[in-house]
Homo-oligomer: A and B are copies of this chain.
Amino acid sequence: MNNQTELQIIGIMNTVKDLGAASAVLGWDQETYMPDGAGEARAEQIATLDTLAHQHLTSDISKKLAADVRGMNGEATSLLKLFVKDHDRAAKLPEELVRETSKAQSLAQEAWKRAKGEKNFSIFAPHLQKLIDLKIQAAELYGYEKDRYDALLDLFEPGMTVAQLDPVFKELADGTRDLLKRIEPNLKNADNSILSAGFDKEKQIEFSRFIAEKLGYDFNHGRLDLTAHPFCTTFAITDVRITTRVFENDLRSCLFGVIHETGHALYEQGIDKKYARTFAADGTSMGIHESQSLFWENMVARTEEFWTWALPHLRARFPEQLRDMTPRAFFKAINTIQPSFIRVEADEVTYNMHIILRYHLERDLINGRLKVEDVPKVWAETMQEFLGITPENDAVGSLQDVHWSFGGFGYFPSYTLGKLYAAMIWNQLEKEMPDVREQISKGEFLNIRVWLRENIHQYGRTQEPIEIIKRVTGRTLTARDFLEYVNTKATNVYEL
């Protein structure tokens, strides 16, 4: 390994990363401003960029450079190791399989939309089967030690396995059911009707911008737009954009959407600039990413302390609706717990049951222990078992999420991992910064942001999630912090 080799690797990473950034800009434009009639051409353009990126990453030159780094026997920098990791993974899939999967995903997404519209799982079933077959092929090519599903999990959460997840998710599910039972008799103690009192959309957006800026989102290197579903997308460390949606009769959707995406954006904006245009300039995993968004959304902004500071600012925008509102009443309103069918509308507590359900299903689909045709039945049974409700059709059941239709098997667990990580990180922060709640109650967020940046954000992908959690909290993944956190909160909200 000489300096020339390193420069060549960085050059390839720059090209691949720039292509990825361009693809992301085209995707963002598609969701925000693209005229309706341009979809077909846009799909071609994005496919071209993605194909070129894959070609550059798996070219003969990249192959040779990756071999050079492997020849260093572990003495390479973490950045060069990332290059090898991404090269090896990309090179494992023959271009034919990549192309076939890409096509199958496009078709599956169209079929999924149709199936959801007609509330009919059987329209989607053959496409789901095809994607599972392709993902099984991919998993076999990627390789795994114990469980085939591990190979897919690793794409979203490096190092995570079924063996680690199963006991943690079991503890979480048991704890959640206990909590739900505990709340049941006290449901009348919390009321969220105020949140649908009717709130001007423009003012909601303006307030959300105000909050995002206060939390530290840098609008000189980002922006906020409206889309059907909120997301955060990164074109460069210096260009991280967020989107949200807004409803007049749900004050939560826009505001907590923005705070959530701000959490993602602070992570991306906080990556060390020396990693710009390299494979390190990204969140280390979907789980850690989600921990950052949930940290700001739940640990910071769904607290009574936060609304002690923020409520007067919100009331200034909506004096009539919020005339008699107190921080405590508002805190209770935004923290009600209620089993429901739709994952994205679920509260902090029941949300995880939606995830564990999906995890079980996709793990077993990939492992061949569940047949596609049985998905709706098992879905309904598990919902009944987990939350005591049964979906009346597939649209509010197994067809509600887009993920499977784009082949995202292994993605769902990230959402709950994010919740567990966030609770662990919050516990650690409270230890190291005992007055953090007081800071929040004064609208001071700089210290929190700096702490997260120093401990997590700056590293980008140069440290794996397991390393980060171990270094920051001194522990390994557990559901206990989260269960304690939601039990304490529920006790407070429902006056148990």
Q: How far is the CA of A29 from the CA of B22 in the complex (A)?
A: 11
A15-B52, A29-B29, A44-B14 known; A218+B37 contact, CB < 8 A = yes
Whether, in the assembled complex, A138 has its beta carbon less than 8 Å from a beta carbon of chain B, the answer is no
Q: Give the residues in chain B near A18, CB-CB below 8 Å.
A: 44-45, 48-49
A37-B218, A222-B35, A223-B33 known; A239+B42 contact, CB < 8 A = yes
Q: Are B36 and A25 in contact (CB under 8 A)?
A: no
Whether, in the assembled complex, A41 has its beta carbon less than 8 Å from a beta carbon of chain B, the answer is yes
Q: Give the residues in chain B near A23, CB-CB below 8 Å.
A: 22
Specify which of B14, B40, B218 is in contact with A48 (CB 8 Å cutoff): B14
Q: In the complex, what's the smallest C-beta–C-beta distance from A41 to chain B, in angstroms?
A: 3
Q: How far is the CA of A52 from the CA of B19 in the complex (A)?
A: 10
Q: Are B41 and A220 in contact (CB under 8 A)?
A: no
Q: How far is the CA of A412 from the CA of B17 in the complex (A)?
A: 37
Q: How far is the CA of A236 from the CA of B40 in the complex (A)?
A: 10
A15-B52, A29-B29, A220-B35 known; A236+B22 contact, CB < 8 A = no
The DSSP consensus for interface residues of chain A is helix
Interface residues of A in 198-251 (CB under 8 A from B): 218-223, 225, 235-239, 241
Whether, in the assembled complex, A289 has its beta carbon less than 8 Å from a beta carbon of chain B, the answer is no
Interface residues of A in 6-38 (CB under 8 A from B): 14-15, 18-19, 21-23, 25-26, 29, 33-38
Q: Are A22 and B40 in contact (CB under 8 A)?
A: no
Q: In the complex, what's the smallest C-beta–C-beta distance from A32 to chain B, in angstroms?
A: 8
Whether, in the assembled complex, A264 has its beta carbon less than 8 Å from a beta carbon of chain B, the answer is no
Q: Are A41 and B238 in contact (CB under 8 A)?
A: yes
A277-B41, A277-B44 known; A239+B22 contact, CB < 8 A = no
Give the nearest-CB partner of A52 in chain B. B52
Q: Are B37 and A49 in contact (CB under 8 A)?
A: no
Whether, in the assembled complex, A276 has its beta carbon less than 8 Å from a beta carbon of chain B, the answer is yes
Q: Give the residues in chain B near A15, CB-CB below 8 Å.
A: 48, 52
Q: Give the residues in chain B near A21, CB-CB below 8 Å.
A: 41, 45
Give the nearest-CB partner of A45 in chain B. B18
Q: How far is the CA of A45 from the CA of B277 in the complex (A)?
A: 9
Q: How far is the CA of A21 from the CA of B23 in the complex (A)?
A: 11
Q: How far is the CA of A23 from the CA of B18 in the complex (A)?
A: 11
Q: In the complex, what's the smallest C-beta–C-beta distance from A42 to chain B, in angstroms?
A: 7
Q: Give the residues in chain B near A22, CB-CB below 8 Å.
A: 22-23, 25-26, 45, 48-49
Give the nearest-CB partner of A15 in chain B. B48
Q: Are B37 and A221 in contact (CB under 8 A)?
A: yes
Q: Are B220 and A37 in contact (CB under 8 A)?
A: yes
Q: In the complex, what's the smallest C-beta–C-beta distance from A481 to chain B, in angstroms?
A: 36
Q: Give the residues in chain B near A41, CB-CB below 8 Å.
A: 21, 235-239, 276-277
Q: In the complex, what's the smallest C-beta–C-beta distance from A375 to chain B, in angstroms?
A: 37
A-B pairs, top 10 by smallest CB distance, nearest first, are A41-B236, A38-B239, A18-B48, A37-B221, A37-B220, A18-B45, A22-B22, A38-B238, A41-B238, A37-B238
Write 13 A-B pairs (CB below 8 A) sorted by A numbering.
A14-B48, A15-B52, A19-B49, A22-B49, A25-B26, A33-B223, A37-B218, A37-B220, A37-B238, A38-B221, A41-B236, A41-B276, A42-B235
| Known pairs A22-B23, A41-B237 / 5 extra A-B pairs, C-beta < 8 Å | A18-B49, A35-B219, A35-B238, A35-B241, A37-B239
